[in-house]
Amino acid sequence: MTKATRLGPYTYLPAPAHGSPAPNGALTKGGLPVTLRVTEPILRNFLDILAELEADLGRRWITAQGTSGRRPAE
């Protein structure tokens, strides 16, 4: 994950993948950042799992819509 993510009133800014002097991401609210030192790996893992679940749900939803047994209106 390399992009900013909205989490309610907060924005999660992950640490850059390579070459950054700042190894930790941050949560911001109202322009005030809080550096994540201990919890960032947990938060990053949680958001990655949510993204996987969202993608899987999207695939299942499309499959379910295609096999609903309904015929389109003529």
Instruction: Give CA–CA dist 59/53, Å, rounded.
Output: 10
Contact 12, 5 (CB under 8 A): yes
| Neighbouring residues of 40: CB distance < 8 A, sequence distance ≥ 6 | 14, 15, 24, 25
> Does an H or E element contain 53, and which?
helix 40-66
pLDDT tens-place string over residues 30-73: 888 888 888 888 888 898 899 999 999 999 888 888 776 555 56
This prediction's pTM = 0.57
